[in-house]
């Protein structure tokens, strides 16, 4: 059974929260009853104005584009099933709380159940509701005193206006949740998944069954129910993703959109997002801010680091580049990553010496090609060769975007790049990676240079290697590695090479 928060901890949280609410919600004591009635009517007719007035310590930024349509749906549909897999810092719990409190204070809803992973988690999430009803001066001034005597605890309380709130941990019996004759007409599910449970699909199935049978079954057929589930997607299969399949509305919102821009720029600026993402691992960023949990894949359980032989002594050397068609110059989003990987082959073993892997713009990608070429020159690689993926979909992109950028930088750097196009018609990504890389990895013949360990690009590569699975969304690095090794095995020494002329003055490691 989940451990409940202590009385002392609860009291400290309640006291601090209540004091903050009290200070943040002053009222105009000189307002006439007529003016007060007009103001309340005006506020109730405008959801955002209502939120701003009654929750000034929550409503600190202009709403995000996704907030407004979501709120409109919730406030105008008493019978609705909405799932909000919004990432951290997008106010999923706060926005939901403001919506539900408006519905209950204006008489639209009467009986609220809030569910989380454990009973103590549910009580913690219900605490803001309870404290606001106790100490929000503006709510008390306009809607009357809410706190009742004898029915006011951390896990369950009923207001003087006969609105019931109850906290439940997942799996607890929801029986007995009637409020007089009213069955639950609002069910809130918040952070119901745990890291441990999402590793076991059967536990998720059991939890979903509980939600849709025991919990959902508390509703009245004839009385409309609003069900809102919020939470990050923290696994491949979660309660949130499964409920999303049943929902009337299901929208994943990440910290950045598909174009790499903040989904809530009024609150989360690009500079702020960059700062946060720079301090956490790629895996953590994908899980917490992009609803893309990278779990252990089905092909690689670990990767092997080691001391590699001098690259100029390898029998074959190939640099392989995947340009992707995205020109997004901000890391951490949903776009495909670009990659450049330098591979050596000696004595039936494959060695990775140099890597760049990130979501970046075309200019920086081309710069990587020159940096990789510099690395080969500095390490005396006798035959330099850089292959660029150029399948049917990428061909116009290479010719119209990448090649002109290469020529542009060639004039500046004065260097000759040994570019070849890989025009192979590639099979499905996962099966190529599994078929080409898994056997040499299993035999211990795929080695990453120990000098790469803990570098940002290698960190991304390692995360993607460990995430390789049929349904994985992030395999750009392993895909580039597979391309290079396949070419090395099949035709690397026979393909015709084209050049962009010049000579670069300075080199970079």
pLDDT digits (tens, 9 = 90+) for 105-118: 999 999 999 999 99
Assign residue 346 the CATH number of its domain.
3.30.420.320
Q: Please, which pLDDT band fits residue 501 given cuts at 50, 70 and 90?
A: very low
Same domain flag for 329 and 249: no
pLDDT at 497: 44
Question: Rounded to whole angstroms, how far apart are CA atoms 240 and 252?
Answer: 11
pTM, whole model, 2 decimals? Answer: 0.66
Q: Please, which pLDDT band fits residue 296 given cuts at 50, 70 and 90?
A: low
Give the total number of structural domains in the chain.
Answer: 2
Cα dihedral 239, 333, 478, 470, rounded to 10, equals 30
- Tell me how crowded residue 139 is: count the other CB atoms within 10 A of its CB: 22
Same domain flag for 245 and 335: no
Q: Give the phi and the psi of residue 355 in degrees, each rounded to 5.
A: -150, 140
Distances (CA, A) of 67 to 1, 98, 323: 36, 12, 35
Domain of 492 in residue numbering reads as: 305-500
pLDDT at 20: 77
Last residue of a domain, one of 257, 274, 291: 274
The pLDDT of residue 333 is above 60: no
Same domain flag for 313 and 268: no
Residue 58 parent element (H or E): none
Same domain flag for 108 and 223: yes
pLDDT at 505: 38
Please, are residues 91 and 51 in contact by the beta-carbon 8 Å criterion? no
Same domain flag for 253 and 318: no
Question: Rounded to whole angstroms, how far apart are CA atoms 167 and 124?
Answer: 9
The pLDDT of residue 379 is above 70: yes
The pLDDT of residue 400 is above 50: yes
The pLDDT of residue 80 is above 80: yes
Q: What is the mean pLDDT of residues 178-187?
A: 81
pLDDT at 180: 65
Same domain flag for 160 and 235: yes
pLDDT at 474: 83
Q: What is the mean pLDDT of residues 358-376?
A: 92
Assign residue 205 the CATH number of its domain.
3.40.50.300
Distances (CA, A) of 251 to 64, 87, 188, 291: 14, 11, 17, 11
Same domain flag for 178 and 130: yes
Enumerate residues 6+ apart whose C-beta is below 8 A from 331. 277, 358, 359, 360
Q: Give the phi and the psi of residue 235 in degrees, each rounded to 5.
A: -160, 170
Q: Please, which pLDDT band fits residue 228 given cuts at 50, 70 and 90?
A: very high
Please, are residues 254 and 289 in contact by the beta-carbon 8 Å criterion? yes
Closest CA to 323 of 409, 389, 371: 389
Same domain flag for 248 and 324: no
pLDDT at 8: 67
The pLDDT of residue 160 is above 60: yes
Question: Rounded to whole angstroms, how far apart are CA atoms 442 and 434?
Answer: 11
């Amino acid at each position: 059974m989940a451990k409940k928060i202590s009385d002392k901890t609860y009291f400290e949280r309640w006291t601090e929260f209540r004091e903050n609410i009290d200070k943040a919600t002053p009222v105009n004591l000189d307002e006439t009853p007529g003016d007060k009635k007009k103001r309340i009517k005006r506020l109730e007719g405008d959801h955002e104005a209502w939120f701003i007035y009654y929750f000034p310590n929550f409503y600190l930024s202009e709403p995000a584009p996704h907030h407004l349509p979501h709120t409109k749906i919730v406030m105008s549909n008493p019978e609705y099933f909405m799932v909000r897999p919004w990432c951290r810092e997008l106010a999923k719990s706060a926005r939901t709380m403001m919506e539900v409190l408006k519905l209950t204070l204006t008489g639209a809803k009467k009986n609220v159940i809030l569910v989380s992973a454990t009973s103590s988690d549910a009580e913690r999430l219900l605490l803001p509701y309870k404290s606001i009803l106790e100490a929000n001066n503006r709510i008390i001034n306009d809607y009357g005193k809410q706190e009742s005597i004898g029915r006011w605890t951390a896990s369950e309380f009923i207001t003087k206006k006969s609105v019931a709130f109850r906290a439940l941990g997942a799996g607890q019996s929801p029986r007995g949740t009637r409020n007089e004759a009213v069955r639950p007409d609002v069910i809130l599910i918040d952070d119901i998944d745990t890291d441990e449970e999402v590793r076991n699909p059967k536990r998720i199935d059991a939890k979903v069954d509980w939600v849709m049978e025991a919990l959902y079954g508390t509703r009245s057929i004839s009385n409309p129910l609003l069900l809102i589930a919020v939470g990050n997607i923290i696994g491949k299969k979660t309660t949130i993703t499964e409920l999303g399949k049943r929902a009337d509305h299901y929208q994943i919102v990440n910290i950045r959109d598909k174009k790499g821009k903040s989904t809530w720029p009024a609150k989360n600026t690009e500079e702020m997002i960059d700062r946060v993402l720079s301090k956490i691992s790629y895996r953590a960023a994908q899980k917490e801010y992009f609803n893309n949990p990278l779990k252990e894949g089905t092909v690689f359980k670990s990767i092997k680091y080691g001391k590699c032989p001098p690259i100029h002594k390898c029998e074959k050397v190939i640099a392989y580049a995947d340009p992707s068609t995205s020109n997004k110059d901000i890391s951490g989003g949903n776009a495909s990553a670009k990659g450049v990987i330098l591979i050596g082959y000696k004595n039936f073993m494959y060695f990775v010496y140099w890597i760049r892997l990130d979501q970046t713009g075309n200019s920086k990608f081309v710069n990587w090609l020159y940096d990789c070429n510099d690395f080969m020159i500095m390490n005396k690689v006798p035959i330099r060769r850089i292959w660029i993926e150029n399948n049917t979909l990428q061909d116009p992109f290479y010719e119209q975007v990448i090649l002109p950028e290469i020529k542009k930088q060639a004039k500046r750097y004065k260097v000759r790049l040994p570019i070849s196009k890989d025009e192979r018609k590639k099979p499905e990504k996962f099966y190529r990676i599994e078929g080409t890389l898994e056997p040499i990895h299993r035999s211990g013949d795929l080695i990453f240079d120990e000098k790469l360990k803990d570098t940002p690009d290698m960190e991304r590569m390692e995360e993607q290697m460990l995430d390789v699975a049929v349904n994985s969304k992030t395999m750009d690095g392993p895909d580039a590695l597979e391309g290079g090794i396949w070419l090395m095995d099949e035709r690397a020494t026979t393909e015709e090479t084209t050049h962009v002329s010049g000579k670069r003055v300075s080199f970079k490691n």
